[in-house]
């Protein structure tokens, strides 16, 4: 099924064409089903500090909205540095983990931006995988020798008495602990289940990232189904806050994982994001408020090759910096699986700026003020600013002793942008489930059905409920649902019901519709 998001604002549709039958009722201009999302602010690229030139280089090559490579850069930088320090915030210490949610339609070059930013990380992961294979072979040999010696000592101890038994005990203690297996090498995953993610933290690296240019598959996949959603959201919330992650399951036993870190970048299509943002559980648990969310204006139709500007040397500098950080050993304890990050404080000037920003946002959350309906997002804006500033600080220098006023100002500028994005997107997502489904069906009728109709020798201007049930979105397979949604579209002027007995597909029909299309759709 093709992508269902239109690049044209729905308030640009033109009046319906004249009825093709004298029995058809006249229609007025179709009415929008959803509140139009107003255009957002320009992305504050200058506030990216040390990441700015790499972001501009990727944007110059892909001509995608600049917010796309910016999101990728922030998420990659967060993954790289989150194991080294915890940042001071106004509410206490917090990890440098960033969760990013990028909303863009198919063809917006999300994957191209992400792959360029992740290029060296993929090289690093391949290198770690090769080293892991070699270490695994060495571990198997060490473990076999240790087990053989231990079994021999135990066998002797069973038959021994007195001094010989004591000697066997001494030998067993001298043998030492069981050799530890090497840590699994993956630093990133795409669509983990809750169990898979926790297992990877238990046996792998303490700092991980989820990067997916098809984030809708994660949001609609096994980890987010009705049985798993609550525990998945809880685990993400715990990891964002650096809380211990507890695991209890028959067969695996019970264990608690301390000081693990997770960076996230999910790229999703607008219709998926809108449905998820309207989800009561995702919003009520504070899950979405932990994300830096953006839906930039599309650049499709303006990405002419004559405008491409590409400087590979700039991206090489980004890769070299990423390489240097990834090859620096993270501070850990307990066999390298539990992070021991240092404190990264705010300078006096930085703290003063952050207090001013926090107070400004707090005042806007009062009843009847601009942010009163998005308090979950607004309440985290100051912490987002501190986290972003911490990431930019350590990206420049892992040993920087504190966050400067200049860098916290950059973090505040970015946090302010993301809060404005969340505000406008939340406003637009406040619709009923029926309206969402009707809009979903409307996009299919306008963008996908014409090609399917022509392949089947049908008139693309007309549609039957059975057409939508057989060929439409998978969520619309019940006759009752489809008929109800088509009635909603007819009430809004997007469909015109044909007279009873109208001939469609060589047969008289009791219920059939003509689709109202934009004039440039033909």
Share of the chain above pLDDT 70, in %: 86
Q: Is 517 a residue whose pLDDT tops 50?
A: yes
Pairing relationship of beta strands 495-497 and 338-339 according to DSSP bridges: unpaired
Provide the pLDDT for residue 151. Answer: 85
Cα–Cα distances in angstroms (integers) from residue 39 to residues 105, 113, 301, 420, 428, in the given order: 15, 22, 17, 11, 12
Instruction: Indicate the residue among 152, 175, 198 that finishes a domain.
Output: 175
What the block records as the tokens of 304 is 């002419």
Residue with tokens 């952050």: 354
In a domain, 425, yes or no: no
For the chain, the distance separating the N- and C-terminal CA atoms, rounded to the nearest angstrom, is 21
| Number of domains into which the chain is organized | 2
Specify the 3-state DSSP secondary structure of 204: strand
Q: Give CA–CA dist 320/325, Å, rounded.
A: 9
Domain C-terminal end among 150, 175, 200: 175
- Residue 386 in any domain: the answer is no
Residue 152 lies in a domain: yes
Q: How far apart are CA 369 and CA 16, in angstroms?
A: 40
Whether 346 and 91 have beta carbons less than 8 Å apart is answered as no
pLDDT tens per residue, range 415-469 = 999 999 998 888 776 666 677 788 888 888 988 899 999 998 999 999 999 999 9
Q: Which residues contact 335 (CB under 8 A, 6 or more apart)?
A: 180
**Domain-located, residue 113:** no
Asked, for residue 142, whether it belongs to a domain, the answer is: yes
Domain boundary (148, 175, 202) is at: 175
Q: Is the dihedral of CA 429, 432, 437, 443 positive or negative?
A: negative
The pLDDT assigned to 154 comes to 82
Q: What is the pLDDT of residue 498?
A: 93
pLDDT number for residue 510: 92
For residue 165, tell me if it sits in a domain.
yes
Q: What integer pLDDT is reported at residue 150 of this predicted model? A: 86
Give the C-alpha separation, 151 to 172, whole Å. 10
Pairing of strands 207-212, 261-268: parallel
For the segment 220-228, the average pLDDT, to the nearest whole number, is: 55
Query: 31 pLDDT exceeds 50?
Result: yes
Q: What percent of the chain has pLDDT over 90?
A: 48
Give the other-Cβ count within 10 Å of 429's Cβ.
Answer: 20
CA distance 445 to 451: 10
Can you give the pLDDT at residue 294? Answer: 94
Look at 23 and 372; give whichever has higher pLDDT.
372
What is the per-residue pLDDT for 2?
36
Average pLDDT over residues 232-260: 81
- Of the ranges 145-154, 211-220, 377-386, which is most confident? 377-386
Which residue range forms the structural domain that includes residue 151?
133-175
Q: Which residues pair with 262 in a beta bridge?
A: 208
Overall residue count recorded for the chain in this entry: 522
Residue 461, class by beta-carbon neighbours within 10 Å (0-12 exposed, 13-18 middle, 19+ buried)? middle
Backbone angles phi, psi at 131, to 5 degrees: -65, -35
Comparing 366 with 6, which gets the higher pLDDT? 366
Q: pLDDT band at 335, cuts 50/70/90?
A: confident
Count of beta carbons in the 10 Å neighbourhood of residue 256: 9
* pLDDT, tens digit (0-9, with 9 covering 90-100), for 291-322: 999 999 989 999 999 999 988 999 999 999 99
Alpha-carbon span 395 to 45, nearest angstrom: 16
Q: What is the DSSP track for 277-292?
A: HT-HHHHHTTTGGGEE
In a domain, 345, yes or no: no
Strands 513-515 and 462-463: antiparallel
Residue located via tokens 């006249």:
26
CB contact at 8 A, 58 and 85: no
- Give the Cα separation of 106 and 380 in Å (integer): 30
Question: What are the tens digits of pLDDT across the range 366-421?
Answer: 998 999 989 999 999 999 999 999 999 999 999 999 999 999 999 999 999 999 99
Q: Is the dihedral angle over the CA atoms 225, 35, 63, 306 positive or is it negative?
A: positive
Average pLDDT over residues 221-243: 75
Please check whether residue 71 lies inside any domain of the structure: no
- Residue 406 Cα distances to 159, 351, 352, 354, 387, angstroms: 73, 11, 12, 11, 14
Please tell me whether residue 339 adopts helix, strand or coil conformation: strand
Please report which helix (H) or strand (E) contains residue 142, including its range: helix 119-159
User: How many whole angstroms separate alpha carbon 482 and alpha carbon 95?
Assistant: 47
Hey, which of 113-127, 142-156, 280-294 has the most confident mean pLDDT? 113-127
Q: Which runs of consecutive H residues, i.e. helices, occur in 372-508?
A: 375-378, 381-396, 405-429, 433-447, 449-455, 465-471, 479-491
**Which two structure tokens, joined as six digits, stand for 216?**
């809708």
Least confident of 14-23, 170-179, 206-215, 308-317: 14-23
Query: Tens digit of pLDDT for each residue in 114-144?
Result: 899 988 888 888 888 888 888 888 888 888 8
């Amino acid at each position: 099924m093709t992508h269902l998001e239109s690049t044209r604002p729905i308030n640009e549709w033109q009046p319906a064409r004249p009825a093709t039958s004298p029995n058809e009722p006249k229609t007025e201009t179709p009415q929008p089903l959803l509140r139009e999302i107003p255009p957002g602010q320009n992305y504050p690229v200058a506030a990216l500090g040390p990441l700015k030139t790499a972001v501009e280089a990727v944007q110059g090559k892909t001509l995608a909205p600049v917010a796309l490579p910016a999101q990728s850069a922030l998420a990659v930088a967060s993954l790289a540095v989150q194991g080294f320090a915890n940042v001071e915030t106004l509410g206490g210490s917090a990890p440098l983990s960033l969760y990013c949610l990028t909303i863009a339609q198919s063809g917006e070059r999300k994957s191209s931006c992400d792959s360029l930013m992740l290029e060296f990380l993929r090289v690093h992961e391949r290198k770690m995988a090769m080293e892991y294979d070699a270490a695994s072979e060495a571990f198997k040999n060490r473990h076999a020798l240790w087990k053989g010696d231990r079994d021999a000592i135990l066998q002797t101890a069973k038959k021994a008495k007195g001094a010989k038994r004591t000697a066997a005990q001494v030998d067993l203690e001298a043998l030492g602990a069981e050799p530890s297996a090497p840590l699994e090498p993956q630093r990133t995953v795409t669509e983990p289940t809750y169990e898979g993610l926790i297992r990877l933290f238990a046996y792998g690296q303490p700092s991980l990232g989820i990067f997916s240019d098809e984030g809708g598959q994660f949001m609609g996949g096994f980890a987010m189904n009705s049985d798993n959603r609550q525990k998945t959201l809880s685990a993400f919330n715990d990891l964002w806050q650096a809380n211990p992650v507890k695991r209890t399951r028959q067969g695996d036993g019970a264990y608690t994982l301390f000081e693990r870190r997770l960076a996230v970048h999910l790229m999703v299509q607008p219709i998926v994001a809108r449905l998820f943002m309207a989800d009561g559980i995702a919003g009520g648990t504070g899950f979405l408020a932990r994300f830096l969310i953006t839906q930039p204006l599309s650049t499709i139709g303006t990405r002419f090759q004559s405008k491409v500007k590409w400087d590979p040397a700039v991206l090489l500098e980004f890769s070299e910096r990423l390489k240097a950080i990834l090859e620096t050993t993270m501070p850990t304890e307990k066999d390298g699986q539990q992070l021991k990050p240092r404190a990264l404080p705010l300078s006096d000037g930085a703290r003063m700026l952050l207090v001013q920003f926090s107070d400004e946002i707090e005042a806007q959350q009062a009843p009847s003020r601009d942010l009163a309906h998005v308090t979950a997002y607004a309440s985290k804006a100051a912490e987002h600013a501190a986290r972003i500033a911490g990431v930019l600080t350590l990206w420049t220098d892992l040993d920087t002793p504190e966050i400067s006023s200049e860098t916290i100002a950059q973090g505040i500028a970015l946090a302010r942008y993301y809060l404005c994005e969340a505000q406008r997107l939340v406003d637009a997502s406040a619709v009923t489930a029926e309206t969402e489904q009707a809009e979903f069906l409307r996009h299919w009728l306008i963008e996908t059905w014409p090609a399917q109709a022509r392949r089947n020798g049908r008139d693309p201007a007309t549609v039957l409920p059975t057409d939508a049930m057989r060929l439409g979105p998978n969520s619309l397979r019940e006759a009752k649902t489809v008929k109800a949604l088509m009635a909603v579209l007819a009430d809004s002027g997007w469909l015109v019901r044909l007279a009873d007995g109208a001939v469609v597909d060589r047969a008289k029909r009791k219920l059939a519709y003509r689709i109202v299309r934009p004039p440039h759709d033909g």
